[in-house]
Amino acid sequence: MQAKQWGLEAYCVQNYRKILSEFAEIQPHLVLLDITLPFYDGYYWCSEIRKVSKVPIVFISSASDNMNIVMAMNMGADDFIAKPLDGNVLIAKIQAMLRRTYDFGTAVPVLEHRGAVLNLGDGSFHYDGQRLSLTKNEYHILFTLMQNKGKVVSREKLTEALWETDSFVDDNTLTVNVNRLRKKLDAAGLPDFITTKFGVGYLVADV
C-alpha cells in the first residue's frame, strides 16, 4: 500500500541511533513507532520526542499485551495499534488523528543539533532530559546560530537579531549574552556548542 495514494507522504528513519535528529530535520506531522527497534526501543524514542514536541505518536506492534499498551501511553503515545492489522484501518486511524490534531493548529517546528532541541513554539531548549531556561536574548542567539548551522554568523547579524526583540544591544551586551548562554550550555553538558571565530562572529558547527 502506497501512502501517496491516500494523500500522505511517508519517511523511513535512516539512522536508528539519531532518530531525534531526523525527526527535527523532517518535521513530521505524525510518528509511527514499533516497540522493537535497533539500538534503543520505541519507548525511549517516544519519550525523547515527547519532551520536545506534541506531534501525534502511534505505536504499531505485535506485542500488544496490556503492559506494553500501558507503557506506550505512559511514555506519551496517542494510540496503540496491534499487529496484524488491516491497512485500511491503519490509514483511517492516521487520517482521523491528523484531522483532530491539525484542525486547530499546525505542527510546531524545532531545530536540533548534537541531540539538543530548540522548540520554536514555546522557546524552550532541551538536552539529555533537561529543559534549559533561556532569556529572550539567549533564545534569539541560539535560534539564529542553529538556523545557520555550519555557517559563521557575524556579530552584526546577531546584534540585528537582538534589536528585533526591542532589547538595547551594543557590542558588549552581545558578548555578555553569548558568554552567559555558553555557561548554561556547558553546565548542561554541551561544551563548545558555540564556537567563536575571532574577528568574524560565532558558529554552531555542523558536525
pLDDT digits (tens, 9 = 90+) for 36-57: 888 889 899 999 888 888 888 9
Nearest to 11, CA basis, from 35, 28, 33, 34:
28
State pLDDT tens for residues 133-171.
888 888 889 999 998 888 999 988 888 877 765 455 567
State how far the Cα of 92 lies from the Cα of 85, in Å rounded to an integer: 12
Q: Which residues pair with 196 in a beta bridge?
A: 202
Which residue is listed with cell 561544551?
Answer: 191
pTM (global) more than 0.95 = no
pLDDT of residue 193: 93
Mean pLDDT of the chain: 83
* Low pLDDT (below 50) residues in the chain: 1, 104-105, 166
